[in-house]
């Protein structure tokens, strides 16, 4: 009975085909949370797949309705051991974005796992079915080697609404916080900093989506008859957007950025080089906040992006001045900013620039707030040592993920120190056709998580 034996058992799970077989079964369940017709798929994933997997590992499982009528259900799996000194909370989400079936390249389907070399294709392989499958596989390996013991308690929540903003998750966790009695959080989602380098992160940037629009009149009017006489909403909206950011992407609204980059964050990012692997895009080094490294810009600062812009008919333009224009925008924000002030600050900014005709509205009710555990926290240092011991590599430590997750629920509502260990990479085509994972990353992920779970059973890291 040893740590090395648990790691070997975890990697054999992949080498002997068990991981791929389990993941293929899970990917085949079309759990599209944006699709109101997928209720039976959500039930199948939680009841037929997750319950059937976790109960043999000693978890007591129960599916709970969502307290938010816009949300999908939760599965709570609880495993307790006599004398355990701490309780770990873990998390995964069984829902995926829409399959986009027709857009996948020939030979691939979102609902079937297809292996090509070191890649496994399928919707949810990276986000998030593959990642929580790694963690469950590592748990099973540790239990097998330790004779049915972990050495700690665990509460595992699998939700089915993360891709629609996790409606109800905050309320649900608040309802059960006391009975769960957790003191640590450890889970997996998102990409590594670099495909070849193990990565840990301690929180997530927040995200606020909003719409900007200009509505001058109903209908369009011939540009030859009315050009120069009618205000163009597309031009007005373009000026509004250009007032928000400089030509090189620097945000011009002070309330949208933190006062400073904390020293501990800068230190953690000092040896972090952003890379999407050979398939990833090249970084535009001239874009964003000046004076910051690429890692500091994406993990330590805020960003503003226009995700969609429409005026007239882009697919079939005609010689007419449109009456309306709209843009769907997003702010990714870090700790040190208050998202409640973003839109009021934008309103004041536009008014100062004579752009009172530009309307602003929050695009979605569910907002994931920014979180960041101090990189010097004892749990973070402990996790870094465990992963380094398993892999022989110094892991990258990100103070927070560049993307957004419901980590505010775990850090703030549950009050837990949060450490994430991602098993994907930035060029995995997450949320796009041809989503995939890398088998070497999955294999190393199984080893790392087995090592982490083994070490948790040896004693509390706090």
pLDDT tens-digit map of 262-288:
999 999 999 998 876 777 788 999 999
| Cα 20 versus chain centre, distance | 23
Region 338-365 average pLDDT:
96
Choose the weakest-confidence range: 12-21, 178-187, 189-198. Answer: 189-198
pLDDT digits (tens, 9 = 90+) for 13-29: 999 999 999 999 999 99
Give Cβ neighbours of residue 457 (< 8 Å, ≥ 6 apart): 142, 146, 149, 150, 151, 152
Region of 336 (left: φ > 0; alpha: ψ -120 to 50; beta: rest) is left
Report which DSSP code applies to 332: E
Structure token digits, residue 207: 């995200």
Q: Is the pLDDT of residue 218 over 80?
A: yes
- pTM of the shown model: 0.90
Of the two residues 330 and 276, the one the predictor is more confident about is 330
Rounded to whole angstroms, the Cα distance separating 184 from 154 reads 10
Q: Which helix (H) or strand (E) holds 235?
A: helix 233-244
């Amino acid at each position: 009975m040893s740590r090395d034996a648990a790691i070997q058992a975890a990697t054999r799970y992949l080498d002997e085909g068990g991981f791929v077989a389990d993941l293929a079964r899970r990917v085949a369940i079309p759990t599209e949370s944006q699709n109101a017709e997928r209720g039976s798929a959500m039930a199948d994933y939680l009841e037929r797949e997750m319950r059937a997997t976790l109960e043999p590992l000693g978890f007591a499982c129960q599916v709970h309705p969502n307290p938010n009528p816009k949300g999908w259900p939760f599965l709570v799996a609880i495993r307790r051991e006599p004398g355990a000194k701490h309780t770990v909370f873990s998390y995964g989400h069984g829902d995926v974005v829409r399959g986009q079936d027709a857009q996948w390249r020939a030979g691939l389907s979102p609902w079937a796992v297809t292996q090509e070399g070191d890649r496994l294709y399928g919707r949810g392989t990276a986000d998030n079915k593959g990642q929580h499958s790694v963690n469950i596989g590592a748990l099973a390996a540790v239990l097998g080697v330790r004779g049915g013991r972990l050495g700690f308690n665990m509460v595992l929540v699998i939700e089915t609404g993360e891709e629609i903003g996790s409606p109800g998750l905050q309320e649900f966790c608040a309802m059960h916080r006391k009975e769960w009695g957790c003191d640590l959080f450890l889970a997996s989602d998102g990409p590594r900093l670099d495909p070849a380098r193990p990565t840990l992160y301690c929180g997530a940037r927040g995200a606020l989506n909003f719409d900007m629009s200009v509505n001058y009149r109903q209908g369009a009017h011939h540009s030859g008859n009315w050009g120069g006489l009618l205000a163009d909403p597309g031009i007005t909206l373009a000026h509004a957007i250009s007032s928000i950011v400089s030509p090189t992407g620097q945000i011009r609204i002070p309330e949208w950025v933190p006062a400073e980059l904390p020293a501990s964050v800068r230190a953690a990012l000092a040896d972090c080089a952003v890379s999407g692997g050979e398939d990833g895009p090249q970084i535009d080094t001239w874009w964003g906040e000046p004076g910051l490294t690429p890692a500091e810009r994406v993990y330590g600062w805020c960003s503003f992006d226009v995700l969609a812009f429409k005026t007239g008919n882009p697919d079939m333009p005609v010689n007419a001045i449109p009456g309306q224009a709209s843009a769907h925008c997003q702010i990714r924000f870090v700790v040190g900013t208050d998202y409640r002030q973003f839109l009021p600050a934008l309103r004041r900014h536009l008014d100062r620039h004579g752009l009172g005709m530009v309307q602003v509205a929050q695009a979605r009710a569910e907002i994931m707030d920014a979180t960041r555990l101090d990189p010097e926290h004892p749990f973070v240092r402990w996790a870094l040592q465990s992963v380094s011991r398993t892999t022989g590599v110094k892991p990258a430590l990100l103070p927070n993920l560049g993307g957004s997750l419901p980590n505010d629920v775990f850090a703030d509502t549950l009050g837990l120190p949060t450490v994430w260990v991602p098993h994907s990479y930035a060029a995995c085509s997450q949320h796009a056709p041809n989503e995939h994972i890398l088998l070497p990353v999955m294999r190393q992920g199984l080893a790392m998580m087995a090592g982490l779970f083994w070490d948790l059973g040896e004693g509390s890291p706090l």
